[in-house]
Amino acid sequence: MSDARAGWTRSASDADDWRRMEESPIRLVDYAIHIHYLSKYLNRRERVLEVGAGGGRFTRELAGLVKSIVVADISPDKLMRNRRNAEADGYVTKVEEWRECDMRDLRPHFQDGAFDAVVCYGGPLSNVSRDRFKAIRELVRVTKAGGRLFLSAKSLWGTVHEHLPSIVRVDPLMNREIVDTGDLGPDLVGVASRFWHAYRAKEFREFIEDAGAQVELISASDCLSSTWKDLLPTWRSSKRTWEHLLELEIEACREPGSLDMGTHVLAVARKPK
């Protein structure tokens, strides 16, 4: 793979989530903003489905915020890693089960309205690409009436913003197609190890609402920090500075002009009663 193409394809990496966060403070900013909305809206009484949970970077936080969790992932290896992490960190009793399933069809596994809340953070809604419409309808279906969905996906312009030095070296015609469609993958546009779709914020809102949920808020995940990566380790070394940075990020990421400029676009939605 050429360096020029790396800017678009980096999101397809299978690297361990926690190791990536420890090595990259920008990932910690992204993570902290995702966690902020879980902490703000969950109230320790919910039974939650976490879809595409991977190794458990969000499972660990959910364990302290909700009554119980069902962990779902299409990968048995990731489910095994998630369980090992839960056992090692002492929250295994909060997880009802680890269920191997495909988010595009949850009917063999979960009934309508089975969960008080559903969390699908990070890459799953990008990685299912052309089947994303099936996936979001399934997430809404298994959420109870009045329950919330916590969703995020790769941001189109945020990816360009973060990886601009690599992306400007890509063939302009290929870039034009990716920007126009949001698609990347072996038989779509460009070349990547897997299919994925990156969203504009307006598109992400419409995508969720067309599936039958009402978007309560939409946010970017790290609109301020991605161009200041060299300074983030220094800022992280000061608790006061780091907390202030996160405070500014959370506010800035909600501004209409910033919604497309973070690594992820994030939404909190509610299924109508």
Q: Residue 184's pLDDT band (boundaries 50, 70, 90)?
A: confident
Query: What is the token pair recorded at 43?
Result: 């109230």
Q: Is 60 exceeded by the pLDDT of residue 193? A: no
Q: Is 50 exceeded by the pLDDT of residue 11? A: no
CA–CA dist 265, 259 (Å, integer):
7
Q: What local confidence, expressed as pLDDT, does residue 87 receive?
A: 95
119-175 pLDDT per residue, tens:
999 989 999 988 999 999 999 999 999 999 999 999 999 999 988 988 899 889 888
Looking up tokens 């703000």, which residue turns up?
Answer: 40
Q: Which DSSP string corresponds to 9-73?
A: HGGG----HHHHHHH-HHHHHHHHHHHHHHHHH--S--EEEEES-TTSTTHHHHHTTSSEEEEEE
The arithmetic mean of pLDDT across residues 44-66, rounded, is 96
Q: What local confidence, expressed as pLDDT, does residue 200 receive?
A: 97
* Paired residues of 119 in beta bridges: 50, 150
**pTM score:** 0.90
Query: What is the token pair recorded at 97?
Result: 């089960």
CA–CA dist 31, 222 (Å, integer):
9
Q: Which DSSP string corresponds to 108-125?
A: TT--TT-EEEEEE-SSHH
Pairing, β 115-120 against β 143-154: parallel
The ranges assigned to domains in the chain are: 3-270
The DSSP 8-state label assigned to residue 185 in this structure reads: S
CB 33 within 8 A of CB 221: yes
Select from 3.40.50.410, 1.20.1510.10, 6.10.140.120, 3.40.50.150 the CATH code of 3-270: 3.40.50.150
The arithmetic mean of pLDDT across residues 187-212, rounded, is 83
Query: What is the token pair recorded at 206?
Result: 């419409």
3-state helix, strand, coil in the chain (%, to 5): 50, 20, 30
